[in-house]
A and B are shown apart, each in its own frame.
Chain A
Amino acid sequence: MAGLELLSDQGYRVDGRRAGELRKIQARMGVFAQADGSAYIEQGNTKALAVVYGPHEIRGSRARALPDRALVNCQYSSATFSTGERKRRPHGDRKSCEMGLQLRQTFEAAVLTQLHPRSQIDIYVQVLQADGGTYAACVNAATLAVLDAGIPMRDFVCACSAGFVDGTALADLSHVEEAAGGPQLALALLPSSGQIALLEMDARLHEDQLEQVLETAAQAARDVHTLLDRVVRQHVQEASILLGD
């Protein structure tokens, strides 16, 4: 019984997309009233919720406070019902800790932490349904949440995953494509300046192909930026209408 063909001869993937096309993205900001900032994003079947609190005073030990900038604290949690088989531990396991660390790295690069020394910004991300590209969805959701909270940022952070099959780079991998075992790359980009906030891959990829995959991921991240841009503008317009302008 042959495995799934990830890229057909005519250039179509398992779900009918072409190599560089993204899945359907829908996002909303301001979903929670009680948090400072919140956002919800759906990338295909991957659904992620991000909530931001801050900048507020350091919880826990005062010793952790940084004198010149804010402490960014990220926690990643994936719901027990998010994958095909029920997960035992929603958070605290190694993958979640690693994701939290990666998110922190990403957002420390984008948020202007110098403006809030000795304070703490909390970003909590919860994945409700995981169908591939969870890191990217988390980053995108967290960006929107941080914008919603009004924390000053250098630029958007847009992320997308990319893979490599049969000599072609694929953008925005779904779970099927990730499980097939090829190399996968996650890229978080600041679109206006083109700077990379985070680039992560733990597979083997030949250096000649790295360029191609990176370019595909960057282009996909820019496409995500266009979408998020539209969402934010719409949200701000609605909010300002209600404010009575």
Chain B
Amino acid sequence: MLKSRTFLKKTRAGGVMKIVREHYLRDDIGCGASGCAACGSAHEGPVLEPQPLDRVSSLCPQPHYLLPDTNVLLHQIDVLEDPAIRNVIVLQTVLQEVRNRSAPVYKRIRDATNNQEKHFYTFTNEHHRETYVEQLQGETSNDRNDRAIRVAAKWYNEHLKKMSAENQLRVIFITNDRKNKEKAIEEGIPAFTCEEYVKSLTANPELIDRLACLSEEGNEIDSGKIIFSEHLPLSKLQQGIKSGAYLQGTFRASRENYLEATVWVHGDTEDNKEIILQGLKNLNRAIHEDIVAVELLPKNQWVAPSSVVLLDEGQNEDDMEKEEERECTLKTAVSEKMLKPTGRVVGIIRRNWRPYCGMLSKSDIKESRRHLFTPADKRIPRIRIETRQASTLEGQRIIVAIDGWPRNSRYPNGHFVKNLGEVGDKETETEVLLLEHDVPHQPFSQAVLSLLPKMPWSITEKDMKNREDLRHLCVCSVDPPGCTDIDDALHCRELENGNLEVGVHIADVSYFIRPGNALDQESARRGTTVYLCEKRIDMVPELLSSNLCSLRSNVDRLAFSCIWEMNHNAEILKTRFTKSVINSKASLTYAEAQMRIDSSTMNDSITTSLRGLNKLAKILKKGRIENGALTLSSPEVRFHMDSETHDPIDLQTKELRETNSMVEEFMLLANISVAKKIHEEFSEHALLRKHPAPPPSNYEILVKAAKSKNLEIKTDTAKALADSLDQADSLTFPYLNTLLRILATRCMMQAVYFCSGMDTDFHHYGLASPIYTHFTSPIRRYADIIVHRLLAVAVGADCTYPELTEKHKLAELCKNLNFRHKMAQYAQRASVAFHTQLFFKSKGIVSEEAYILFVRKNALVVLIPKYGLEGTVFFEEKDKPKPRLTYDDEIPSLKIEDTVFHIFDKVKVKIMLDSSNLQHQKIRMSLVEPQIPGISVPTDTSNMDISEPETKKKKLQK
């Protein structure tokens, strides 16, 4: 049956257009209940269980299905995702509305529907002949949708009755809208609010906590005074943005100061404007990462970013006067040019809330059920939640989701989602770290694991057909000790014509991960393997990463080989790429390989191969350095773990041997060769990696620092920088060169992946190469898998698929990979920081030598070479009188009382762990040498108690 839907739409130009669409009604849509004979011929199979008896509700004792309406779905998604809620009918009307209003909730509903265990059924009621509802004259679309939902619920009840006489299956309508509920009851549909229903599930009381608390529209004005101004509706905001009265931007809260934030305005021009917001009223309930509309304040109200650190610690929730007091402290008298554009938030365009990890700050009132939750991320305000389990949750890390922020409330309202475990516990903290950095770390789903090959697996005849058999070659791999995912193997041998043949063999992961399937999607989502201190979050399941793909010794493995013919001067004469089968003869560590090279007695084929590689590597490295490649160092530290407790025993800086450099050189060479090849073949769709050159302003600090020691650093080209860094030596101060290199690392920009068709600048500054990509680690990086696929097509070993050659999809993928890479780095650093804290906790107070890296207005940033640890020594503290501080920007130097500190000065500091704030335990450093009366701490620490914070403490932050 054909119906026609006509409606009017406003075009972008402002005109009105009439849209006429067909709307077909069908007879063959099934109700989804198994055992329903009438719907046996429907397209979709039955999904709902015939006898849903697991839910015993006091309100409705018979077996029943649930039918939620839109608002319930949007707000109570946490309740619905709970495994206790099953057999739910989701109407198409409801699903469309959810899709239009909130994409994340829509995705979660889809995941729940795809989950077989949950038995969620999507009923296409808009196209079912009996449940289609036309909009009546004068009826708003919301009313029409509500009516459609009620009609569908009614139809379901009648239909299920017809199924069989004694069947008592019913459908319960869940809605929070009072009017809708009344109308439904009038029409004979059993209806309850979500709260009533959840409370009636006597078998599952914990569901009540997961209920989101929503404030009814009416109560708002009565209880409590209104603190914040109203948010303007979206239409007014859009008008305002178009006319220029308001600006749209992303809201970024400040980590140090909860009363301050900046908004980065989305601009067409390159420079995004930054607007400062100060004061709770001006922040107007915006939360970090929301898209907001701001109005600029007149110039006489502009402020400068405050350099004060303020944390929200009050317990009394609605005490506004204290807030206003604090706000006044922010407004310090500053010079004109420090003022920045200031504004206030007038409306929220889009919320970007996510579930947050943190801890409960229990309320002082004993019987109160409302508590404040402090998130781990300092940029998020505290959240008020209602829970009965406050006593059990105290001292645990929990996850909380925000529901809303009414105008009369000092804090946003939220609800409890999950309990992660005890705070300080390694597992819990690792979990928090991974969640806060958005690192996917759940175990691989069944769908993904089902795509893995069955063991025992071996290479078949078919696989051998398109590959070169290189099992006779003397291939070996060199990796860090304890490494199980071996990506790469090398070989080198003499040819008859006197030249050398060098091969780099990379694990052929793209053979196991075919494009488009669940395994591929999951790997793309993860983007990279994350290496935490004691754990590794794999990008691909272990069967592949540590076994089938890993190039272990003495087994046949599939590989993708890059083979060069070079002369003894490391000049490349020929390059070829081929899929192959190899058999690695040895899996060596860096130390073992180095030992073999240096040994005078060993002369087997592996050792000769290694020696050849080493020689060539040295020549290659020299060539690269002549071209201007940078060799910078960072204080890499490794933890030695106690094997039983997994607590860190000792910190050690990584040693760099010749063999590290050897492997690195060939990996770089392979990456560059592959980059050239895929760019040649796919000029528009190659996935490459670039490192933009830093702007000269980034180098200012380096140049200034070197000048203070009378050394010159040239920064015009990479080569000039590399050369001047090499020459910047001081006989009296051997560590200076390392420090300068460390500083240089801080000036660099981030290297990123990009799609060759979407960008013109391919240069990799750090390696001084015109083109570069990642090819050599497909087990732990998804970008390498894509490059493998591209290369396979280029050499004719595989066929393409649509997404590979679509540059916009590739650019999207690069964006995701860059994000994951960054997050993985942050997570790794956070893991190192956490383990450092654990280490110092057990070690107590230590006193070590340090060098000053940066000089700040009220602090010094120092580096402790022994531990590779960086920290800040503060000189201002709230309980103590402020010392005289004079800061000179030019040199730079800081004069405290009478002692002057310059950059690179050697000092001695004391390190210890401050666990006063459970969520943010910090490493505290205080000055020991040079001695400044009233500031420095004494060297003698024998009678110090570890747990009690020292009296002469400086407030600091890492």
A: residues with CB less than 8 A from B are 1-2, 5, 8-12, 14-18, 23-24, 44-45, 84-85, 131, 174, 176, 204-206, 208-209
Contacts and interface: CB of A to CB of B under 8 A. Distances in A.
Given A24-B22, A85-B11, 12 more contacts: A2-B106, A8-B122, A8-B124, A9-B110, A9-B122, A12-B127, A16-B25, A84-B17, A206-B800, A206-B801, A208-B802, A209-B802
Contact of B113 (A9, A12, A17, A131): A9
B254 interface: no
8 contacts: A9-B113, A9-B122, A11-B44, A14-B21, A16-B124, A17-B24, A45-B4, A85-B15
Nearest to B803: A206
Nearest to A12: B124
Contact of A16 (B44, B99, B127, B799): B127
B22 A174 contact: yes
A11 to B, nearest CB: 7
Given A5-B99, A10-B124, A44-B22, A18 B802 contact: no
A5 to B, nearest CB: 7
A84 B21 contact: no
Interface pairs A-B: 10 shortest CB-CB: A16-B127, A206-B802, A16-B24, A15-B22, A84-B17, A2-B99, A24-B2, A44-B22, A12-B124, A15-B24
B136 interface: no
A5 B98 CA distance: 13
Contacts of B122: 8-10
A87 to B, nearest CB: 13
Nearest to B20: A45
A227 to B, nearest CB: 15
Interface string B8-32: 0001000101111111111000000
A211 B806 CA distance: 19
B434 to A, nearest CB: 29
B103 interface: yes
A165 B78 CA distance: 31
Interface in B111-147: 113, 122, 124, 126-127
A16 B100 contact: no
A1 B99 CA distance: 8
Main DSSP-derived SS at the B contact region? mixed
Contact of B43 (A18, A84, A85): A18
B92 interface: yes
Interface centre among B96, B124, B802 (most CB of A within 10 A): B802
B802 A84 contact: no
A128 B17 CA distance: 18
A8 B126 CA distance: 12
B23 A131 contact: no
A84 B801 CA distance: 37
Contacts of B22: 15, 23-24, 44-45, 131, 174
Contacts of A8: 92, 122, 124
Interface in B1-59: 2, 4, 11, 15, 17-26, 43-44
B17 A85 contact: yes
Given A15-B22, A206-B802, A2 B17 contact: no
Contacts of B20: 45, 131
Contacts of A17: 24
A14 B22 CA distance: 9
B252 to A, nearest CB: 25
Nearest to A14: B21
Contacts of B99: 2, 5
Contacts of B23: 15-16
Interface in B208-222: none
Nearest to B800: A206
Given A9-B113, A12-B127, A18-B43, A176 B2 contact: no
A132 to B, nearest CB: 10
A5 B103 CA distance: 13
A205 B805 CA distance: 10
Contacts of A174: 21-22
B121 to A, nearest CB: 10
B628 to A, nearest CB: 40
A148 B278 CA distance: 79
A23 B24 CA distance: 9
B304 to A, nearest CB: 38
Contacts of B805: 206
B100 to A, nearest CB: 6
A24 B806 CA distance: 35
Nearest to B24: A16
A2 B100 contact: yes
A124 B359 CA distance: 76
A241 to B, nearest CB: 30
Contacts of B799: 208
A11 B43 contact: yes
Contacts of A176: 21
Contacts of A131: 20, 22
Interface in B519-533: none
A197 to B, nearest CB: 27
**A9, A10, A14, A205: residue with the most chain B Cβ atoms closer than 10 Å:** A10
Contacts of B18: 84
A116 B281 CA distance: 86
Nearest to A209: B802
A140 to B, nearest CB: 18
Nearest to A129: B20
Contacts of A10: 43-44, 122, 124
A85 B15 CA distance: 9
Contacts of B43: 10-11, 18
Contacts of A2: 99-100, 103, 106
Contacts of B96: 5
Contacts of B26: 16
Contacts of B21: 14-15, 45, 174, 176
A84 B19 contact: yes
A15 B5 CA distance: 10
A16 B43 CA distance: 13
A14 B11 CA distance: 20
A17 B25 CA distance: 9
B800 A16 contact: no
Nearest to A21: B24
A3 to B, nearest CB: 10
Contacts of A14: 21
Nearest to A167: B516
A208 B103 contact: no
A46 B599 CA distance: 84
B887 to A, nearest CB: 51
A10 B99 CA distance: 15
A12 B468 CA distance: 48
A139 B917 CA distance: 77
B92 to A, nearest CB: 7
Contacts of B15: 85
Interface in B796-818: 799-802, 805-806
Nearest to B804: A206
Contacts of A24: 2, 22
A174 B106 CA distance: 26
B25 to A, nearest CB: 7
Nearest to B9: A84
A226 to B, nearest CB: 19
B264 to A, nearest CB: 23
Contacts of A208: 799, 801-802
B89 to A, nearest CB: 13
Nearest to B28: A18
Which of A1, A11, A17, A206 has most B Cβ within 10 Å?
A206
Nearest to B44: A10
A107 to B, nearest CB: 29
Contacts of A18: 43
A23 B20 CA distance: 15
Contacts of B44: 10-11
Interface string B535-559: 0000000000000000000000000
A5 B110 CA distance: 14
Contacts of A15: 21-24
